[in-house]
Amino acid sequence: MKRKFKINRQVLRKSEEIFYRVLMILSTSIIIIALLAIIISILVKGIPSLSWSMISQTPKGGYYFGKEGGILNAIIGSLYLSFGATMLALVFSLPLALYMNIHKMKQKNVVNVIRFFLDLLWGIPSIVYGAFGFTIMVYFGLRTSLLAGIITVTLFIIPIMVRSMDEVLKTVPKGLLESAFSLGSTRSETAFRVMLRQCIPGMITAILLAFGRAIGDAAAVLFTAGYTDYIPNSLSQPTATLPLSVFFQLSSPIPEVQSRAYASAVVLTAIVLIISIASRGFSSRYQKNRIK
C-alpha cells in the first residue's frame, strides 16, 4: 500500500514538471509567432511600395491620392520629436531615479509613494496626455507645434523611464554602495561614478523603452504636434509623425495609399530596430565592468 503511494507521487511530480514545461514552450511560441506574424504582414504589404523616393521625398501634391512623393516629413518629424522628448525626459528622469535610490534610501515610504504615482501615470492612456497637452496649449495660446508635441510626449514617457531606471537601480548590491561610501564618496559621487557605471546597460534599456514608446505613439501627438507635409525647421512649427502618417494613409480608400501605410510602418520598425542595435553595441562596452 505504502509503496504504491510512493510511485504515484513520483508520477505526479514528473507530470507536474511536464505540464509546466509545455506551458512555457506554448507561451513562448505564441509570443514569437504573434511577433513574426505582425512583422511578416507589414513586410509583405509594405515592401512592394517601399522605394527610395518614399523615404527621401516629402509628399508632393496628390500624394495621398497615390501620386508621387514620400514620407520624409514624417520620418524626420518623428526623429525630431522622439529624440527631443527622450532627451528632455532623461533630464528629469535620471535625477529622480537616482534621488529615489540614493538620497531617499532610508525613507522607503516616500519612495514607495512616488513609485505608486508613477505607476498610475504609466497606466494613463496616451490620448489623455494628448488632451491634457492640448488644454495647456490652448491656455497659453499655442498652436500645434513640434515643441508642444515634444513636451506632451515627454510627460507621457517620464513615468516609463523613471520606473524602468528605478527597477535597474534597485538591483545595485548594497555591498557595492557600502564600498563606495566607505571610501568617503558623497552621495552624488556614489550615484554618478558607481551606481551609473554599474547600471549603464540597464539604463540604456530604460531609455530605449521610453524612446520606443515616444516614436510609436500616435495619440499623444495627434492634437499637439499636428500634421504637415513639410519638414519643420523650428520648434514652433507643426510636424508630421510616422504613426500618424500610417494612420492617415491607412484610412484612405485607395489601395496604393494603404500599401504605403505599411511601407511607413516598415520604416518605423526599422528605425526602432537600428537604434536598439546601436545602443546595445554601446552598452556592451560597459557590461564587462559590472559587478555581479
In the complex, what is the shortest distance from the CB of residue 82 to another protein, in angstroms, rounded to a whole number? 30
Residues 20 and 238: their CA atoms lie apart, in Å, by 52
Fill in the amino acid letter for 253: P
112-131: contacts with another protein (CB under 8 A): none
Name which position in 13, 173, 236, 256 contacts another protein (CB under 8 A). Answer: 173
Q: Which is nearer to another protein, 97 or 263 (CB)?
A: 97
Residue 107 makes contact with another protein by CB under 8 A: yes
**Pick 32 or 105: Cβ nearer another protein:** 105
Cα separation, 48 vs 18, in Å, equals 45
203 binds another protein, rule: CB under 8 A:
no
171 is a contact residue toward another protein (CB under 8 A):
no
Q: How far apart are the first and last CA of the chain?
A: 50
- Name the residue nearer to another protein (CB basis): 57 or 283: 283
DSSP-assigned letter for residue 83? H
As a whole number of angstroms, the distance between CA 59 and CA 68 comes to 7
Does residue number 292 form part of the binding site for another protein (CB under 8 A)? yes
Task: Give the side-chain half-sphere CA count within 13 A for 24.
Answer: 6
**Neighbour count for residue 72 (Cβ, 10 Å):** 20
Of 181, 230, 247, 248, the residue at the interface with another protein (CB under 8 A) is: 181
Nine-digit cell at 26? 506554448
> Site for another protein (CB under 8 A): which residue of 71, 180, 204, 246?
180
Residues forming contacts to another protein in the complex (CB under 8 A) are 105-108, 173-186, 189, 193-194, 197-198, 288-292
